[in-house]
């Protein structure tokens, strides 16, 4: 195994209900980056899991007549099943109710208290139960929760506080020395200028109003605030402070932590401060992605506009679903899900551009060369040369975008390369070359088509692995070295005969636009309550 390590995390999800495509989006994004790093030779590790404590979970379980533990156990099974369906290759799945986590949360709390970072006081404020967050009077918007717009209620309780003020200057310095810690830059600037620079308030880190959480060892009527409990999952999962901290030594600090924009405040402010207090290194990068919105705003059951990933996977397949999520939502920005957009991407990008290219190529290699791919003989004409040069440029751009986690842009480069390859067929007109018996040119065209498809299969592997595998299968490529990223920039790669399959099978079957738009809309309506 490589000694270059890459540790990537997703947020741990609240299992308060079924996961919609927003939740799936974060995870598919992280999974694709993990797989890309693996393809590039890294020993890469992906962590995901569940954030199982807190008042909201306690309430949902009660409504269903279950104990919180029973409820979260069921949800953990559900989540693992969902990630299996989405082919998420996680290396660890942490649950905050596991002993390996709770024991260390207790330990961390003790330490922070002993070293004076956590102190006892009294809390007065407005609490939003669904968001599990306290707000000051001035933070409320029209008397409601500034995050979700729901009702808040006044709470006063004896509580423990974390001394954030003590760390503000260090955090400011850290931000100045690490300008790319948070991406995109707009989010970084927002956090830095609006929250950090004006000065931080101490954070209330315990609750007494409910029980479902990690108890403070020295004062067990208090439970640890869910965010302190949840954030440290990224290190407890590696065995921090446990009997075996090998993984922690190997993988910490994380290279990349992916979060949604709604939780960047917790990850960009409290998290690095907790790490400073524990004298631990801070992750290299935190990436805040945007939200998947619907035409009428946020996804919600009350609006009946929820898209569940299973629905898309069952009807259109996993790769179409993953491709859509990764391609449609650009780096860090919000974007609107539309059934029209989904069907269009399916028909144009997957069926027409990629699927047809493979199909035509297999058909022609069978027709003109009995299925055996001709050997490379350099560039025979100017079209070959142009194709090679332009494709290499697109691969370079793909790589640069992938290295910077701009997956949507990276896929766009692959599709640009697919598009010039389709154009290359129109320009070289193999059917005319065959008729005129220009065999050398025809051989070269077939070789180049095959070779470009092989490159696309390599580039698509992290995002849509089944499609990548199917392209290799249809092309008759079995050799691992021909599937490796190391071979991607070269054109002359085959020293053995390659035989493509006799009859190409469509990668994707074209959808009837009207029917499918109607189908998705109906499925959305069914989600309403």
Nearer to ligand MSP, 107 or 147 (CB): 147
Shortest distance in whole angstroms from residue 95 CB to ligand MSP? 12
Where do we find the tokens 């996993």? 318
Selected binder of ligand MSP within 14, 109, 252, 485 (CB under 6 A): 14
Contact of 42 with 321, CB cutoff 8 Å:
no
Nearer to ligand MSP, 258 or 414 (CB): 258
CB atoms within 10 A of CB 336: 14
Where do we find the tokens 């047809």? 356
For β-strands 182-183 and 203-204, DSSP reports them as unpaired
Q: Residue 429: left if φ>0, alpha if ψ -120 to 50, beta else—which one?
A: left
231 binds ligand MSP (CB under 6 A): yes
Shortest distance in whole angstroms from residue 16 CB to ligand MSP? 7
Rg (CA), the chain: 26
Site string for ligand MSP, 77-116 (x = CB under 6 A): ----------------------------------------
Shortest distance in whole angstroms from residue 276 CB to ligand MSP? 17
Shortest distance in whole angstroms from residue 373 CB to ligand MSP? 43
Selected binder of ligand MSP within 8, 30, 33, 51 (CB under 6 A): 51
Contact of 210 with 157, CB cutoff 8 Å:
no
12 binds ligand MSP (CB under 6 A): yes
The SS3 call for residue 291 is coil
274 binds ligand MSP (CB under 6 A): no
Selected binder of ligand MSP within 13, 127, 161, 456 (CB under 6 A): 13
Q: What are the φ and ψ backbone dihedral angles of 80, each rounded to 5 degrees?
A: -65, -35
Shortest distance in whole angstroms from residue 97 CB to ligand MSP? 13
26 binds ligand MSP (CB under 6 A): yes
What size, in residues, is the chain?
Answer: 529
Where do we find the tokens 């390859």? 421
CB atoms within 10 A of CB 212: 23
Selected binder of ligand MSP within 262, 353, 388, 523 (CB under 6 A): 262
Shortest distance in whole angstroms from residue 228 CB to ligand MSP? 10
Contact of 327 with 408, CB cutoff 8 Å:
yes
Shortest distance in whole angstroms from residue 312 CB to ligand MSP? 14
260 binds ligand MSP (CB under 6 A): yes
Nearer to ligand MSP, 310 or 479 (CB): 310
Only segment of 6-14, 142-150, 247-255, 487-495 that touches ligand MSP (CB under 6 A): 6-14
**DSSP alpha helix (H) spans, 317-370:** 318-328, 339-344, 356-369
346 binds ligand MSP (CB under 6 A): no
CB atoms within 10 A of CB 296: 11
Only segment of 237-245, 260-268, 311-319, 341-349 that touches ligand MSP (CB under 6 A): 260-268
337 binds ligand MSP (CB under 6 A): no
Shortest distance in whole angstroms from residue 26 CB to ligand MSP? 5
Instruction: Report residue 466 as tokens.
Output: 């089944």
Q: For the sheet with 182-183, list strands across it.
A: 92-95, 43-50, 5-9, 256-260, 286-289, 182-183
Give the end-to-end CA distance of the chain in Å, rounded to a whole number. Answer: 50
22 binds ligand MSP (CB under 6 A): yes
Only segment of 118-126, 230-238, 347-355, 382-390 that touches ligand MSP (CB under 6 A): 230-238
Element (H, E) at 449: helix 439-460
Where do we find the tokens 């389709």? 422
Q: How far, in Å, CA of 496 to CA of 394, rounded?
A: 27
Total residues in contact with ligand MSP, by rule CB under 6 A: 19
Q: How far, in Å, CA of 293 to CA of 337, rounded?
A: 6
Q: Which residue's CB atom is positioned nearest to ligand MSP? A: 260
Which residues lie near ligand MSP (CB under 6 A)?
Answer: 11-14, 22-23, 25-26, 51, 230-231, 233, 259-260, 262-263, 291-292, 299
């Amino acid at each position: 195994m490589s000694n270059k390590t890459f540790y990537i995390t997703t947020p741990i999800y609240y299992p308060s209900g079924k996961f919609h495509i927003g939740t799936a989006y974060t995870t598919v994004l992280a999974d694709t980056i993990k797989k890309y790093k693996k393809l590039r030779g890294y020993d890469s590790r992906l962590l995901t899991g569940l954030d199982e404590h807190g008042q909201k979970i306690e309430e949902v379980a009660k409504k269903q007549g279950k104990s919180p533990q029973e409820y979260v156990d069921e949800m953990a099974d559900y989540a693992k099943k969902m990630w299996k369906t989405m082919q998420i290759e996680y290396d660890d799945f942490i649950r905050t109710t596991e002993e390996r986590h709770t024991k260390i949360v207790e330990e961390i709390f003790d330490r922070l208290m002993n070293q004076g970072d956590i102190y006892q006081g009294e809390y007065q404020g407005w609490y939003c139960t669904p968001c599990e967050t306290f707000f000051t009077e001035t933070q409320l918007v029209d008397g409601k929760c500034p995050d979700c717009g729901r009702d808040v209620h006044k709470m006063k309780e004896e509580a423990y506080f974390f001394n954030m003020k003590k760390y503000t200057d260090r955090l400011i310095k850290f931000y100045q020395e690490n300008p790319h810690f948070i991406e995109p830059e707009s989010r970084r600037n927002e956090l830095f200028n609006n929250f950090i620079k004006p000065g931080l308030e101490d954070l209330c880190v315990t609750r007494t109003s409910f029980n479902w959480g990690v108890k403070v060892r020295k004062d067990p009527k208090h439970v640890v605030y869910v965010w302190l409990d949840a954030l440290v999952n990224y290190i407890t999962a590696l065995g921090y402070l446990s009997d075996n901290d090998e993984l922690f030594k190997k993988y910490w600090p994380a290279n990349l932590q992916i979060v949604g924009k709604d939780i960047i405040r917790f990850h960009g402010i409290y998290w690095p401060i907790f790490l400073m207090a524990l004298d631990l290194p801070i992750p290299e990068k935190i990436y805040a992605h945007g939200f998947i919105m619907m035409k009428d705003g946020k996804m919600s059951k009350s609006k009946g506009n929820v898209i569940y990933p299973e629905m898309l996977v069952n009807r259109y397949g996993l790769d179409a679903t993953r491709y859509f999520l990764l391609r449609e939502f650009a780096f860090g920005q919000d974007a609107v899900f539309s059934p029209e957009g989904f069907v269009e991407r399916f028909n144009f990008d997957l069926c027409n551009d990629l699927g047809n290219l493979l199909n035509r190529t297999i058909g022609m290699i069978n027709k003109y060369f009995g299925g055996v791919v001709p050997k490379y003989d350099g560039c025979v004409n100017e079209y070959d040369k142009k194709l090679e040069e332009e494709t290499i440029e697109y691969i370079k751009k793909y790589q640069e975008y992938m290295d910077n986690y701009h997956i949507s842009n990276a896929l766009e480069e692959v599709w640009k390369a697919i598009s010039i390859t389709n154009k290359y067929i129109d320009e070289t007109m193999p059917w005319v070359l065959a008729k005129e018996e220009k065999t050398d040119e025809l051989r070269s065209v077939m070789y180049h088509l095959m070779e470009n498809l092989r490159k696309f299969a390599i580039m698509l592997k992290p995002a849509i692995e089944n499609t990548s595998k199917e392209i290799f299968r249809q092309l008759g490529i079995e050799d691992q070295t021909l599937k490796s990223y190391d071979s991607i920039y070269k054109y002359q790669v085959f020293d053995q005969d390659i035989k493509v399959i006799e009859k190409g099978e469509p990668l994707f079957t074209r959808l009837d636009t009207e029917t499918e738009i109607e189908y998705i809309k109906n499925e959305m309506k069914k989600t309403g309550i």
